[in-house]
Chains A and B, each alone.
Chain A
Amino acid sequence: MILEVENLRIEFAFDGKVSVPVRGVSFSVPKAGRTALVGESGCGKTLTALAVGSLLDRAKISGDIKLNGRVAYVFQNPMQSLDPVMRVGKQIEEGMEKGLSRDARRAQMEQLLESVGLPRECARKYPCELSGGQQQRVMIASALAQSPKLLIADEPTTALDVTTQKEVLDLIRRIADEREMAVLLITHNLGLVSRYSDYVNVMYAGQIVESGAVKSVLSNPRHPYTKGLLAAVPRIDAPRDAPLVDIPGTVPPPWAWPEGCAFHPRCPQATKECSSPLFKKCPCLTDYEQF
């Protein structure tokens, strides 16, 4: 395994109150494997990802994170991650090992640009001179400059249009294959998971509610939350007047997560037991071997 997360708990204290946005998350990413964390915003996916690279300040973290190699990130909004006043070539070089000669850095940088499908001339440009897709390619190049064993791609294409989205994801997949690099894909769109991951963990309210091989989870989702997420993806072949299946409402903030199954107020299949403090496991999952 390149990454093993055991019972991760992330706690923040503010205004004298304690908030636990991640509560007991366990999952792993095999060497050169492709794993996804899926769920709505506010479920703790990004916090989990940030904890892996020790990028969280001011949080109390417990549990176990075993990371066997370097990790690099690609985030949703490249304009927020890139320095607007530094040429992109320089930004890519920044992540490289110290002690390389200037020429070596430059050569490596140009090679990286090429491998993400950008012309060398891009090195002299500023981020604002590039399109969103190109910016995201720069982000990928600068992540690769660190020679990571694990790439965490956190909603890497949400801000891009479909064609660009596919290009960027295909690029990540190709590069990951070539370099035997593992990818942890974080997304709210189960539609992407089928194409770009082998194993999926569905997260709700700071916990993983369902996990398994992508094929079996997508073709046979058990948890009502997974079902709802799947139904929310608009499909071409759905008739226009088909009733819309919505998961009502939104993820409550961590300090308002209900007792019992956190999903029960939004769940169409919830029973009395689901709101009980003694709730252990979703009854829809009972005949399902997992964890």
Chain B
Amino acid sequence: MNGSLLEIENLSVSYRGEDGSVFTAASEVSLSLNRGESLCIVGESGSGKSSVAMSVPRLLPSPPAFWPQGRILFDGKDILAMSPKELRSVRARRIGVVFQDPIGSLSPLHRIGDQLAETLFLHCDVSRSAARATALEWLHKVGIPEPEQRLKAYPHELSGGMQQRVMIAMALMLGPDLIIADEPTTALDVTVQSQILSLMRSLVGKDSALLLITHDLGVVAKMASKLAVMKDGRVIETADDVSAFFANPSHPHSRALVAEARKMEL
């Protein structure tokens, strides 16, 4: 296979308001990501990082979102030009997404086990009992204690960290090539954050890639093999060597971010 797993070329993401006005959240963004790599996009809220990341699985409601220019090549195919059917299969089987807010992403009315099994049912040809067995296996893999009992639990019966583990299981159980995680630990305690980051690090292997959105440079240091800094919708700096970046960020805004983060450290 030639080329990157994910190649974002000159992408702009805009939103059209009800009154016809256009707001551009990201402009002329180009990024690439290969298997075995973890790319962190960092930036303040409003920098356009989530708009770019959520354009990849096309999870932005459109309208209002639209893409005035650019391509998102996933394994060489432009996601923005895919038919709904193609898109559905790519989204489900090849791209897994973990959101910041697990309780907003899980159905409150269905048991954890049923939600996990549904993912398998919908996208793979498996029996009910096989789906259940796989769900159980994944709850175990993401470190949920007493997984048999947890299968029967509703999301609200789990802690935030446990809910996020379920989300990770759901995103990874179909063996996606690309995992997109948008601030996956922002809502969690530092101790749980540390556990979840370790878990993600151990589960994202050589054959898959991670696109991680975060505002926390400490998380970048822990997770990224390369990074892009966004500000006001543009990529202002990219780095393939993360520790070199921290030692010597070149853009003034990156310098400010790093200096700030250092000040907040102990």
Give A268 to B225 CA distance when docked, in angstroms.
30
Task: Report yes or no: B190 in contact with A235, Cβ–Cβ below 8 A.
Answer: no
CB contacts under 8 Å to A, within B215-246, are: 215-225, 242-243, 246
- Docked pose: A218 CA to B193 CA in angstroms: 20
B262 close to A164 (CB less than 8 A)? no
Report the minimum CB–CB distance from A220 to chain B (whole Å): 12
* Closest chain B CB from A26 CB (angstroms): 24
User: CB-CB < 8 A to A163: which residues of B?
Assistant: 44, 215, 257, 260
* Interface window among A1-9, A86-94, A185-193: A185-193
Residues of B near A158 (CB, < 8 A) are 186-187
Chain A nearest CB, measured from B265 CB (Å): 6
Chain A residues near B186: list those with CB within 8 A.
Answer: 158-159
Stretch binding the partner chain, chosen from A98-106, A116-124, A225-233, A277-285: A225-233
Residues of B within 8 A of A160 (CB): 45
Determine the chain B residues whose CB is within 8 A of the CB of A239 once the complex forms. Answer: 243
Evaluate contact between B224 and A236: CB separation under 8 angstroms: no
Whether B224 and A240, one on each chain, are in contact in the complex, defined by CB atoms closer than 8 angstroms, is: yes
In the complex, the answer to whether B191 meets A228 with C-beta atoms within 8 Å is yes
Residues of A within 8 A of B162 (CB): 250
Contacts of B193 in A (CB 8 A): 232, 234
Q: Kindly state whether residue B113 has any CB partner on chain A within 8 Å.
A: no
B222 in contact with A189 (CB, 8 Å): no
Which residues of chain B in 84-125 are interfacial with respect to chain A, using CB atoms and an 8 Å cutoff? none
Structural contact, A194 and B191, CB atoms closer than 8 A: no
Against B, the Cβ 8 Å flags (1 = close, 0 = not) of A161-198 are 11110100000000000000000000011111011000
B243: min CB distance to chain A, Å? 7
Q: Which of A40, A164, A236, A244 contacts B45 (CB 8 A)?
A: A164
Residue among A191, A237, A246 making CB contact with B195, cutoff 8 Å: A246
Q: In the complex, how many residues of chain A place their beta carbon closer than 8 angstroms to a beta carbon of chain B?
A: 41
Let me know if A131 is at the binding interface, CB within 8 A. Answer: yes
A236 / chain B contacts, CB cutoff of 8 Å? 217-218, 220-221, 246, 258, 261-262, 265
Over the window 157-183 of chain B, the binary record of Cβ atoms lying under 8 Å from chain A Cβ atoms (1 yes, 0 no) is 001111000000000000000000000
How far apart sit A190 and B189, CA to CA, in the bound complex (Å)? 11
B206 on interface, CB distance cutoff 8 Å:
no
A110–B218 CA distance with the chains assembled, in angstroms: 38
Give the CA-CA distance A240 to B242 in the complex, in Å: 9
Complex Cα distance, B44 from A239, in Å, reads 24
Q: Does A85 contact B (CB under 8 A)?
A: no
Task: List the B side residues contacting A40 at CB < 8 Å.
Answer: 189-192
Q: Answer yes or no: B127 CB below 8 A from chain A CBs.
A: no
Contact B246 A250 (CB under 8 A): no
Is B10 in the interface zone, CB < 8 Å from A?
no
Judge whether B221 and A248 touch: CB under 8 Å: no
Answer yes or no: B1 CB below 8 A from chain A CBs. no
Kindly list chain A residues whose C-beta atoms are within 8 Å of the C-beta of B221.
234-238, 240
Q: Are B243 and A240 in contact (CB under 8 A)?
A: yes
Determine how close the nearest CB of chain B comes to the CB of A214; give it in whole angstroms.
10
Known: A162-B215, A194-B266. A188 touches B189 (CB 8 A): yes
In contact, B222 and A238 (Cβ under 8 angstroms)? yes
Q: Is A254 close to B, CB under 8 A? A: no
**A285→B190 CA distance, assembly (Å):** 23
B46, B161, B222, B246: the one within 8 Å of A234 (CB): B222
User: B190: which A residues are within 8 A, CB to CB?
Assistant: 40, 188-191, 229, 232-233
A191 to B161, alpha carbons, bound, how many Å?
20
CB distance from A129 to the nearest CB of B (A): 14
The 3 closest A-B pairs by CB, nearest first: A234-B218, A161-B215, A232-B194
Q: A164-B44, A234-B218 are in contact. List 10 more A-B contacts (CB 8 A).
A: A190-B190, A234-B193, A234-B216, A234-B219, A234-B221, A235-B221, A236-B217, A239-B243, A244-B194, A244-B222
17 contacts between A and B (CB under 8 A): A41-B189, A162-B261, A163-B44, A163-B260, A191-B190, A195-B264, A228-B191, A230-B266, A231-B194, A232-B193, A234-B218, A236-B217, A237-B221, A237-B246, A244-B201, A245-B194, A250-B159
